[in-house]
Amino acid sequence: MRWAPAVESNYSEAERESDLDVRWFVVHVAQGEADWTVDWFQNPDANVSVHYVADHRTGELTQMLAEEDIGWHAGIWPYNQHSLGIEHSGWVDETHFSDTLYAVSAKIVRWAATEFDFPKRVRRYDIAPCDATGGEGGIIGHDQIPNPNDCSKPGGISGHIDPGSMWNWGRYEGFVRRWDVEPGVLADGAVRHGPDERAETADVTAGAVGTATGSVLVRGGTQWYKLDFDGTPNWVPADDVLYARFDAGSSAKTTSDLSVRADPGGERLAVVPEGTTGTITDCPVDTEGYRWWRLTYDGGEAGWSAGYWLRAE
Ligand SMILES: [Zn+2]
């Protein structure tokens, strides 16, 4: 990522990592080319700025503000205070956005959501909460931000309509959440042959472990994951999938008797029984065909276990 700082008179210096909750990620379309957009945020006449600029032609990403500083992009101060923002070059209702651009943009959103602990969810508000600290936070368009003088009007102070109708939110959310669905542990029996509530039910038992295929679809307001169950791909509503993906400090529970190893795939130190809970203590390691997590179990055992047999507690 290229670093091209915005001029100091176009943003507010802050220390948000310690002082202010970052809970929104605001998606914009710039109404211009990337170079022009970067130049504008470096121009003292602009009085606007945003953290990232993505070039819709090349996928190049430029950072213009430190995350702890407050960009002037939402058109309402509390949303500026509690958000990060990204401009995508291009034009509202005209530009065709490529998967390359969605992937680049989603990658920074995924990182930010983990770093600042807000949900990796696209919010489908007509208008986001009047109070920027309301709701759960997440990813929204500039066109969903309330007007500071009248919360029933969208688009911030100037009624912005970006990112517009060409921005494919379902596709974007697929990229935002892709990494999360590998592997999945199914919570209940709602597995279907197609991504549709009316599709035929598949013969998969509750608690089955599926492997992500990378396909994610949003249909009728429900997000569906395509998971592979023993070689047969089927569809599951996202809310029925418990991810075998954890952050350090989160709790996990074993879904079978499970080995605790000195290293990922290494020497076995102990076996803990099914239903044992523990705390994740490190980043995952992928090796030997599994994703390994280091845990300290509640019984005192500590070491690496395979994520396939762990679910979030
Ligand atoms: Zn905008």
CATH (domain of 21): 3.40.80.10
- The answer on 139 and 59 residing in a single domain is yes
- The answer on 132 and 105 residing in a single domain is yes
Task: Quickly count: other Cβ atoms within 10 Å of residue 236's Cβ.
Answer: 27
Tens-place pLDDT, residues 266-294: 999 999 999 999 998 876 776 766 778 89
Residue with tokens 């990403």: 61
- The answer on 267 and 235 residing in a single domain is no
| Pairwise CA distance, residues 38 & 3, whole Å | 10
- The answer on 73 and 47 residing in a single domain is yes
In the reported structure, the alpha carbon of residue 179 is separated from the centroid of ligand 1 by a whole-number distance in angstroms of 27
In the reported structure, the alpha carbon of residue 45 is separated from the centroid of ligand 1 by a whole-number distance in angstroms of 17
Task: Quickly count: other Cβ atoms within 10 Å of residue 300's Cβ.
Answer: 8
Which residues span the domain enclosing 201? 182-243
| Pairwise CA distance, residues 114 & 25, whole Å | 12
Q: Could you tell me which residues come within 8 angstroms of residue 193 by beta carbon, excluding any fewer than 6 positions away?
A: 199, 200, 201, 202, 234, 235
Mean pLDDT rounded to a whole number for the chain: 88
CA torsion angle 252 253 258 263 (round to 10): 10
In the reported structure, the alpha carbon of residue 57 is separated from the centroid of ligand 1 by a whole-number distance in angstroms of 19
**DSSP codes, 136-175:** --EEEEGGGSEETTEEEEESTTTT--TT-TTS-HHHHHHH
Q: What are phi and psi of 147, to 5 degrees?
A: -75, 135
| Pairwise CA distance, residues 205 & 202, whole Å | 9
Which helix (H) or strand (E) element contains residue 19?
A: helix 16-19
Of 193, 215, 243, the residue that ends a domain is: 243
pTM of the full structure: 0.63
In the reported structure, the alpha carbon of residue 86 is separated from the centroid of ligand 1 by a whole-number distance in angstroms of 9
Of 177, 202, 235, the residue that ends a domain is: 177
In the reported structure, the alpha carbon of residue 50 is separated from the centroid of ligand 1 by a whole-number distance in angstroms of 9
In the reported structure, the alpha carbon of residue 92 is separated from the centroid of ligand 1 by a whole-number distance in angstroms of 10
- The answer on 274 and 225 residing in a single domain is no
Q: What are phi and psi of 23, to 5 degrees?
A: -135, 0
In the reported structure, the alpha carbon of residue 141 is separated from the centroid of ligand 1 by a whole-number distance in angstroms of 8
Angle among Cα 115, 117, 123 to the nearest 5 degrees reads 120
Of 135, 153, 177, the residue that ends a domain is: 177
- The answer on 256 and 229 residing in a single domain is no
In the reported structure, the alpha carbon of residue 190 is separated from the centroid of ligand 1 by a whole-number distance in angstroms of 39
Q: Could you tell me which residues come within 8 angstroms of residue 155 by beta carbon, excluding any fewer than 6 positions away?
A: 75, 142, 143, 145, 147, 161
pLDDT recorded at residue 242: 58
Tens-place pLDDT, residues 133-151: 999 999 999 999 999 999 9
Among 140, 3, 40, 149, smallest CA distance to 82 is for 140
- The answer on 130 and 57 residing in a single domain is yes
Q: Which two tokens stand for residue 233?
A: 């791909």
- The answer on 155 and 15 residing in a single domain is yes
> 180 falls in which pLDDT band (50, 70, 90)?
low
In the reported structure, the alpha carbon of residue 221 is separated from the centroid of ligand 1 by a whole-number distance in angstroms of 24
| CATH number of the CATH domain containing 287 | 2.30.30.40
- The answer on 162 and 78 residing in a single domain is yes
- Find the range with the poorest average confidence among 60-64, 85-89, 205-209: 205-209
Number of domains making up the chain: 3
Among 52, 62, 49, smallest CA distance to 2 is for 62
In the reported structure, the alpha carbon of residue 131 is separated from the centroid of ligand 1 by a whole-number distance in angstroms of 19
- The answer on 169 and 186 residing in a single domain is no
In the reported structure, the alpha carbon of residue 301 is separated from the centroid of ligand 1 by a whole-number distance in angstroms of 51
Q: What's the per-residue H, E or C state across 74-134? A: CCCHHHHHCEEEEEECECCCCCCCCHHHHHHHHHHHHHHHHHHCCCCCECCCCCCCCCCCC
- The answer on 153 and 95 residing in a single domain is yes
| CATH number of the CATH domain containing 222 | 2.30.30
- The answer on 156 and 228 residing in a single domain is no
pLDDT recorded at residue 186: 66
Helix, strand, coil shares, percent, the chain, to 5: 20, 35, 45
What is the distance, to the nearest Å, from the Cα of residue 302 to the centroid of all Cα atoms in its chain?
A: 30
Tens-place pLDDT, residues 184-233: 666 666 789 999 889 998 888 766 777 777 677 777 777 788 888 878 88
What is the distance, to the nearest Å, from the Cα of residue 191 to the centroid of all Cα atoms in its chain?
A: 24
> 243 falls in which pLDDT band (50, 70, 90)?
low
pLDDT recorded at residue 66: 94
Q: Which two tokens stand for residue 162?
A: 């970006």
**CB contact at 8 A, 224 and 195:** yes
